[in-house]
Structure formats: C-alpha cells, structure tokens
Amino acid sequence: MDMQTSLLDRLFDAGLLIETGVDGLYGRSGVFEDVISRFEGLISAYGGAEGAEMIRFPPGMNRAHFETSGYMKSFPQLAGTVHSFCGCELDHMNLLKCIDEGGDWTKTQEATDIALTPAACYPLYPTIAKRGPLPPEGGLYDLQSYCFRHEPSTDPDRQQMFRMREYVRIGTQEAVTEFRQTWMDRGVKMMESVGLDVEIDVANDPFFGRAGKMLANNQRDQNLKFELLIPVNSAAKPTACMSFNYHQDAFGAKWGLAFAGGETCHTACVGWGLERIALALFVRHGLDPKAWPANVRKTLWG
Ligand code: AMP
Ligand code: ZN
C-alpha cells in the first residue's frame, strides 16, 4: 500500500471523507466542512475589509462562455460537460431497455448549455464584461465554487470535484500586480498562522492555450503564476494549495474588459484549494481538530 492510499484510507476510516466508489469524488463530514468554513472565515478576515463584491456561481457555467475561454485548447482532458436526455417517448423506451441490458445508455445523451466550472473565476469575466466599461479603480470580486477537473486519482489532494475560493482583481496593470503581491504575502502569513509549512514556487500553466504556447513558455520567466506549496501527501513533494495568477491583459482582451476610455483591463486571481488546505491541516495536526494546537484552534475557531 502506498502513502497516498493509506492517507485516503485513514480519511475514510476517520469518516472525514466519504467514499462514493469513484476516485476523486467524495462526500465530506461535518468536521471536514467545519474546517473548510473556518478557513474561509480566515480568508475573509484577511480580505474582507477591501469591499470585494461577493458572487457565488453554481458549479456549472454557460457552455458558450466555456468555449470562448479557450479551456479546451489547454486542458481538454480535464474538462467536463453536462449532457442530458433530449429524446422522444420511443427514445426513452430504448434508453430504459439499454440500461436494463447493461448497455451504454450514455451514448444517446446530448450536450446541454452547461459545462462544469473548471476554476471559480471562469464565469466571472463574461459577467463583468457584460456590465460595460470598468470604473477607473477597476473591480474586486470574492468567489467560491465547486470546480470539476477530470483527473481521477487516489491521492486525496487530487479530487475531481473540489472547491476553490478566489479573489479576482480587474484593473490597471499596477493595481492588479499589487493585488497579487499583497495576497502572496498574506497567503504565507495566513498559512503560518495555522501552523502550516509553506513554500512559494513559480509555476507554469498555459492560461493562453496551446495556440499561445510561446506565451505559456514565457510564463515562468515572466512570473505569471506562483503557487504556494504545503506538504499533504509528501513532505518532499508538497502540494499546490494556493495559486496567484497574473493574466496580463489576455483575459481583458478576450472578454472585452475595458475602461471607459477603451483601454483594456489587466486581471489577476488568487485561488485557495479549500480541500487541499483542509487536508494539509489534518495531515499536519491530526485527524481530530479538537486536539489541534491551541494557537491553531484559536486562529480558526476564535
Ligand atoms: P489552478 O487553477 O490549477 O491553479 O488551481 C487553483 C487551486 O485549486 C490550486 O492551487 C489547488 O489548490 C486547487 N486544485 C487544483 N486542482 C485540484 C484538484 N484536482 N483537487 C483539489 N484541489 C485542486
Ligand atoms: Zn482564477
């Protein structure tokens, strides 16, 4: 049995995660959810004073927006779309027969207008663009959503449906890069305040699609994506629990996010992988939060 399987088994045995029979798709216990909600409270304590507009999208997004985002160019293997039965009565009879016979009934499902949200900020950009020009100070948004990524795994820190909390800044290059730097500093502080060992690393992630591969290759050099790493499965290979992304004006140009004078906005987002952070806490401090160090408990529960 490897390390990952044993961590997942320990989480199942403790009842923190609940098995569904699908790798990366789990139920969560009340104790697990309480840790997530307390950690979200800590995020809000750090960021709440800045007056971000809170928006909660469901875990599915407009498929047309998903297509425009270019996600399929970069991560076709991770994407999920919602399909549904759209047939007539006869089709329904055939469907039931197919299920009865153990056949592949999903073949007749048709795509709906909904794609599963791959990152919490994806539905935001078209929403803000639709409102019209941004004011000179830009905008700041507080998001949280379940996200889907088709990457089945027995590592509990790689789930197919997990939550991402994000702050997104839309504005001038200066405002947006300052926002990202502020959150990199806060991210480290925040994790240290709950007793987690952190490390920040530069990462790459082709936000711009394979077509923009040159840009993606340059991403590391340009420091467009940083990740905050915390040990979960292994101390030697810590897990990305937060990411800090600066998209330059790529999303502004794609979605038509502009100031009244017509100048394209820059964007940046900071994201917390909430399940990963909860798991890092359980691994670091033990599976029973009541027995966590007093200072950590105080930070989270007050
Ligand atoms: P990314 O958009 O890939 O930078 O992801 C944002 C954050 O979501 C990461 O920093 C992780 O904390 C979290 N995350 C990404 N993929 C997964 C996954 N498969 N399971 C759990 N958390 C994830
Ligand atoms: Zn984002």
In this model, does residue 5 exceed pLDDT 70?
no
- Tell me how far apart the alpha carbons of residues 150 and 31 are, in angstroms, rounded to a whole number: 26
Q: Tell me which DSSP letter residue 264 carries.
A: B
Distances in Å between the Cα of 21 and the Cα atoms of 12, 31, 134, 152 are 12, 21, 46, 11
Domains and CATH numbers, the chain: 3-80+118-301 (3.30.930.10), 82-116 (no CATH)
Whole-number Å distance, alpha carbon 95 to ligand 1 midpoint, is 36
In this model, does residue 90 exceed pLDDT 90?
yes
Going by pLDDT thresholds of 50, 70 and 90, the confidence category of residue 212 is: low
Going by pLDDT thresholds of 50, 70 and 90, the confidence category of residue 193 is: very high
Work out which ligand 1 atom sits closest to the CA atom of 225. Answer: 4
Contact residues of ligand 1, CB 6 A cut-off: 119, 149, 151, 157-159, 162, 164, 227, 240-243, 271, 273, 275-276
Task: Taking residues 229-234, report their average pLDDT.
Answer: 94
Least confidently predicted of 32-41, 55-64, 206-215, 221-230: 206-215
pLDDT at residue 6, as a whole number: 87
Q: Which of 25, 116, 147 to mutate to test the pocket of ligand 1 (most atoms within 8 A of CB)?
A: 147
- What 3-state class would DSSP assign to 87? coil
Task: Taking residues 61-74, report their average pLDDT.
Answer: 96
Whole-number Å distance, alpha carbon 57 to ligand 1 midpoint, is 17
Work out which ligand 1 atom sits closest to the CA atom of 240. Answer: 10
Work out which ligand 1 atom sits closest to the CA atom of 162. Answer: 21
User: Going along 157-208, which residue ranges are E strands?
Assistant: 161-171, 199-203
Task: Taking residues 191-201, report their average pLDDT.
Answer: 95
Task: Taking residues 241-263, report their average pLDDT.
Answer: 96
Task: Taking residues 28-40, report their average pLDDT.
Answer: 98
Work out which ligand 1 atom sits closest to the CA atom of 277. Answer: 12
- Provide the residues around ligand 2 (an ion) whose CB is within 5 A: 119, 121, 269
Which residue's CA is minimally distant from atom 14 of ligand 1?
A: 273
In this model, does residue 209 exceed pLDDT 70?
no
- What 3-state class would DSSP assign to 254? helix
pLDDT at residue 1, as a whole number: 47
Whole-number Å distance, alpha carbon 116 to ligand 2 midpoint, is 15
Going by pLDDT thresholds of 50, 70 and 90, the confidence category of residue 204 is: confident
pLDDT digits (tens, 9 = 90+) for 127-175: 999 999 999 999 999 999 999 999 999 999 999 999 999 999 999 999 9
Task: Taking residues 41-68, report their average pLDDT.
Answer: 97
Beta bridge partners of 140: 169
In this model, does residue 298 exceed pLDDT 70?
yes
Whole-number Å distance, alpha carbon 144 to ligand 1 midpoint, is 13
Beta bridge partners of 55: 143
